[in-house]
């Protein structure tokens, strides 16, 4: 006995193979488009929010270290007799300038972190940016404390108590170390 075999014409086989390849190509194209769109969105987030935030944090760190240098110079001016009032006035202006710059940079960085928190989708990224915002707030408080202590010590030094500056410089150094610890992963 002969069994009947169902034969598919070669044209139908080629057509079916072509359709399956076309379906695979369309599926792969849609998958690739989705991935590229996601990467594009992440790159926009990095360019619009995270990179500027990282730059602001770096500027804060640099400004704190520069302010520390001016505070050290003020301290050294009080250690040398006779007191050079012109150099002292210049260093005080520079110190005050950095005080304002640091306060503005911290406020801008906190605002940038708020914007970034509103933009990101991942809970891990939101938690990380919230931690950055919290640390920036802590650095703001520490900077205000250091600045007020430096001003208090300066007023004491003007009255002849030169040893007043010795307690402030170490706190500025710790403030700079705290800002360096703020890391924004891009």
pLDDT digits (tens, 9 = 90+) for 18-56: 999 999 999 999 999 999 998 888 888 778 888 888 899
pLDDT of 174 higher than 60: no
- Do you find a cis peptide bond into 82, omega within 30 degrees of 0? yes
**What average pLDDT does range 68-95 have in this prediction?**
88
The answer to whether domain 44-180 has CATH 1.20.120 is yes
List, for residues 86-140, the tens digit of each pLDDT value. Answer: 998 999 999 999 999 999 999 999 998 998 888 887 888 889 889 999 999 999 9
The full set of domain ranges for the chain reads 44-180
pLDDT at 44: 83
Q: What is the DSSP secondary structure assignment for residue 46, as one 8-state letter?
A: I
Given this model, what pLDDT does residue 181 score? 53
Among 99, 94, 48, 100, residue whose Cα is nearest residue 74: 94
User: Is the Cβ–Cβ distance between 71 and 95 less than 8 Å?
Assistant: yes
- The residue-averaged pLDDT of 8-21 equals 94
pTM of the model: 0.68
pLDDT band with cut points at 50, 70 and 90 for residue 144 = very high
């Amino acid at each position: 006995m002969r069994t009947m075999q169902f034969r598919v014409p070669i044209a139908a086989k080629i057509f079916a193979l072509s359709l399956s390849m076309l379906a695979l190509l369309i599926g792969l194209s849609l998958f690739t488009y989705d991935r590229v769109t996601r990467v594009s969105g992440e790159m926009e987030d990095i360019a619009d929010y995270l990179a500027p935030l990282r730059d602001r944090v770096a500027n804060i760190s640099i400004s704190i270290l520069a302010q520390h240098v001016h505070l050290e110079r003020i301290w050294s001016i009080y250690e040398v007799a006779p007191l050079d009032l012109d150099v002292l006035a210049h260093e005080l202006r520079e110190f005050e300038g950095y005080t304002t710059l640091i306060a503005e940079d911290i406020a801008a960085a906190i605002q940038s972190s708020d914007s970034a928190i509103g933009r990101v989708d991942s809970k891990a990224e939101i938690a990380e940016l919230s931690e950055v915002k919290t640390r920036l707030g802590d650095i703001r408080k520490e900077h205000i404390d250091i600045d007020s202590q430096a001003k208090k010590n300066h007023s004491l030094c003007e009255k002849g108590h030169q040893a007043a500056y010795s307690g402030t410089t170490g706190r500025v150094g710790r403030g700079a170390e705290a800002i360096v610890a703020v890391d924004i992963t891009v």
